[in-house]
Amino acid sequence: MALVIKKDEKIKSLVDTLGRDCNADEFVLKFKIDYPKDWKKINDSYINHENDNQNKKNPTHPMPNPEQYVKNMLNVWLNK
Protein backbone atom coordinates (compact mmCIF):
# COMPACT_ATOMS: atom_id res chain seq x y z
CA MET A 1 0.00 0.00 0.00
CA ALA A 2 1.34 3.39 -0.97
CA LEU A 3 1.80 5.94 1.79
CA VAL A 4 1.06 8.87 -0.51
CA ILE A 5 -1.83 8.55 -2.94
CA LYS A 6 -1.37 10.41 -6.26
CA LYS A 7 2.26 11.04 -5.32
CA ASP A 8 3.38 12.14 -8.80
CA GLU A 9 0.61 14.73 -9.06
CA LYS A 10 1.39 16.15 -5.63
CA ILE A 11 5.12 16.31 -6.27
CA LYS A 12 4.56 17.96 -9.66
CA SER A 13 2.28 20.55 -8.06
CA LEU A 14 4.88 21.40 -5.42
CA VAL A 15 7.74 21.52 -7.93
CA ASP A 16 5.67 23.79 -10.19
CA THR A 17 5.12 26.11 -7.22
CA LEU A 18 8.68 26.03 -5.84
CA GLY A 19 10.63 25.59 -9.07
CA ARG A 20 12.65 22.61 -10.27
CA ASP A 21 15.79 23.85 -8.55
CA CYS A 22 14.11 24.11 -5.14
CA ASN A 23 15.92 23.14 -1.98
CA ALA A 24 14.92 19.73 -0.60
CA ASP A 25 14.25 21.25 2.83
CA GLU A 26 11.90 23.81 1.25
CA PHE A 27 10.12 20.98 -0.53
CA VAL A 28 9.64 19.07 2.74
CA LEU A 29 8.29 22.17 4.48
CA LYS A 30 5.85 22.89 1.64
CA PHE A 31 4.79 19.22 1.59
CA LYS A 32 4.02 19.38 5.32
CA ILE A 33 1.91 22.52 4.82
CA ASP A 34 0.06 21.47 1.66
CA TYR A 35 -0.48 17.78 2.50
CA PRO A 36 -0.80 17.46 6.30
CA LYS A 37 -2.75 14.18 6.08
CA ASP A 38 -0.04 12.58 3.95
CA TRP A 39 2.63 13.93 6.30
CA LYS A 40 0.80 12.42 9.28
CA LYS A 41 0.49 9.11 7.45
CA ILE A 42 4.26 9.05 6.74
CA ASN A 43 5.06 9.93 10.37
CA ASP A 44 2.67 7.32 11.75
CA SER A 45 4.11 4.67 9.47
CA TYR A 46 7.65 5.57 10.56
CA ILE A 47 6.73 5.38 14.25
CA ASN A 48 4.98 2.03 13.78
CA HIS A 49 7.94 0.68 11.81
CA GLU A 50 10.39 1.78 14.49
CA ASN A 51 8.28 0.29 17.28
CA ASP A 52 7.90 -3.00 15.42
CA ASN A 53 11.65 -3.26 14.85
CA GLN A 54 12.48 -2.59 18.50
CA ASN A 55 10.56 -5.72 19.47
CA LYS A 56 12.22 -8.00 16.91
CA LYS A 57 15.40 -9.98 17.32
CA ASN A 58 16.27 -9.46 13.63
CA PRO A 59 14.96 -6.03 12.56
CA THR A 60 13.77 -5.54 8.98
CA HIS A 61 15.07 -3.00 6.51
CA PRO A 62 14.91 0.44 8.15
CA MET A 63 12.50 3.08 6.95
CA PRO A 64 14.10 6.50 6.47
CA ASN A 65 12.96 9.25 8.81
CA PRO A 66 9.93 11.17 7.50
CA GLU A 67 11.92 14.15 6.20
CA GLN A 68 14.29 11.90 4.30
CA TYR A 69 11.36 9.87 2.97
CA VAL A 70 9.86 13.02 1.39
CA LYS A 71 13.26 14.11 0.05
CA ASN A 72 13.64 10.66 -1.53
CA MET A 73 10.23 11.04 -3.17
CA LEU A 74 11.40 14.31 -4.72
CA ASN A 75 14.73 12.86 -5.89
CA VAL A 76 13.05 9.86 -7.53
CA TRP A 77 10.54 12.12 -9.25
CA LEU A 78 13.23 14.52 -10.52
CA ASN A 79 15.28 11.62 -11.92
CA LYS A 80 12.40 10.23 -13.99
End-to-end Cα, the chain, rounded Å: 21
Average pLDDT over residues 45-67: 81
Q: How far apart are CA 60 and CA 56, in angstroms?
A: 8
pTM for the full predicted model: 0.87
Quick: pLDDT tens for 66-78. Answer: 999 999 999 999 9
Could you tell me which residues come within 8 angstroms of residue 19 by beta carbon, excluding any fewer than 6 positions away?
Answer: none
Residue 39 burial (CB count, 10 A): 19
